[in-house]
Structure 1
Amino acid sequence: MRTQRNLPRVNAGSMADIAFLLLIFFLVTTTLAKDKGIERKLPRKCPPGQECAVNIKDRNIMRLYLNETGELLVNDDITAIDELKVMIMDFIDNNGDGSCEYCTGHQLDDSSENPAKAVISLTTDRLTPYAEFIALQDEISKAYYALREQYTLKLFEKKPSELTASELKQVKEAYPFLFSEADVK
């Protein structure tokens, strides 16, 4: 017959309690970073019974296409993304119809009539690299910001961060952000 020996045992009940308390502690004290996305206002839905389609002259639309390999086509010409900011600024600030008093453009026939009519239209491919898409969005935003900053310094002699709400509204009306993101091809 065998005799039972008294083997030392570890009381695991208190270890489970400690592990549970540590888990609760880390869940409560950990902060999760909130990711920032691209700030864009989604277009409002067209009310039923109203016609919301707007006819825009071809000269007032700058067509951007970002293909599956990350190449950018601006009005069917391959362009480097780092050249886009200047191209957008020239397109928007063209003053093609001569009605813009604050525009400094060259009044070219193939660029926009004035900033209130200039639309940037972006089309992407389903396989477009996300990094290229974000870089493109950044360049578009930089162009609008640069135009608004020039306008602010010229008209108000202030930095954009020092503007009042009414002055900021006037700047946004002078250079409205007219952006169209077409369906993915």
Structure 2
Amino acid sequence: MGRRNIPEVNAGSMADIAFLLLIFFLVTTTFQEDTGINRKLPPMPPPGVTPPIIKQKNLFTVLVNKNNELLVEEEIMDIKDLRKAAREFLDNGGGTNEKGEPCTYCKGKKDPESSDHPNKAIISVRNDRETNYKTFMSVQNELVGAYNELRNREAQRLYQRDYTEMESVVADPQVDESVKDDLKEKMEVIKDLFPLKISEAETNN
């Protein structure tokens, strides 16, 4: 009985098919982007400059434990209430700035036990190592949202448009540079009124 002839496999064709499948995979697969925070970090202080002493009343503390629960100013708080609490702290205007000037644009309660001035107000956030990323991002979103609401209010008062709208226009590549430059100057004025000061404390073990 004669041996059957086994047809040969064209290795070149197999390689071509594998290559085409790879291209198909790359074209059709959607890669999930990481969620992040777009924030400009403050500049490093000059060498030899002693950091200013921060009064406790000018510090708004947010602690997030491993169970994703919030302790805000030593009180348990739901995340849905965080933005309002942060906004009231920033807008309190209970004292003066570094130059001894009161906050004439603040609309808060002027509580002497809360922040003196938006330029002195600092939000301190401390997370546990086991805090999940979704909670971390939600906390950041609410805190930045508090700043944006106050900045929008002042931008409307001074320029009759929202600060966040200005940000969107400046980020648009199709907008003329002269328009962007004008908006950037206005945005700096607003940022000076409510400077974003969020301190990320060391993570708890």
Instruction: Point out the more displaced range, 82-91 or 93-102.
Output: 93-102
CA contact (8 A) 2:153 2:162 kept: no
State the alpha-carbon separation in 2 of the partners of residues 25 and 87 from structure 1. 51
The Cα shift of 1:153 comes to 0.8
Alignment of 1:55-94 (within 5 A): 55-94=53-92
Q: What's the counterpart of residue 170 of structure 2? A: none
State the alpha-carbon separation in 1 of the partners of residues 110 and 125 from structure 2. 24
Tell me the amino acid that sits aligned with residue 11 of structure 1.
V
Alignment of 1:18-167 (within 5 A): 18-23=16-21, 25-26=23-24, 29=27, 32=31, 34-45=33-44, 49-97=47-95, 99-160=102-163, 161-162=165-166, 164-167=183-186
CA contact (8 A) 2:95 2:112 kept: no
TM-score, normalization: structure 1?
0.86
Q: Percent identity?
A: 32
Q: What's the counterpart of residue 10 of structure 2? A: 12
1:129-176 alpha-carbon deviations (Å, 9 max, x no partner): 222111111110110110101111111111322471100111111100
Q: Alpha carbons of 1:130 and 1:6: their partners in 2 closer, same or farther (altered >3 Å)?
A: closer
**Secondary structure of 2:134's match?**
helix
State the alpha-carbon separation in 2 of the partners of residues 183 and 167 from structure 1. 34
1:54-106 alpha-carbon deviations (Å, 9 max, x no partner): 21111110011111111111111111110011111110001111611111111
| Higher gyration radius (CA) | 1
Q: Alpha carbons of 1:5 and 1:105: their partners in 2 closer, same or farther (altered >3 Å)?
A: closer
1:36-58 alpha-carbon deviations (Å, 9 max, x no partner): 411233454556x5244321111
**Secondary structure of 1:158's match?**
coil
State the alpha-carbon separation in 2 of the partners of residues 117 and 167 from structure 1. 21
TM-score, normalization: structure 2?
0.79
Tell me the amino acid that sits aligned with residue 130 of structure 2.
L
**Secondary structure of 1:164's match?**
helix
Q: Alpha carbons of 1:42 and 1:166: their partners in 2 closer, same or farther (altered >3 Å)?
A: closer
RMSD: 2.3
1:99-130 alpha-carbon deviations (Å, 9 max, x no partner): 11111111002211111110000111111122
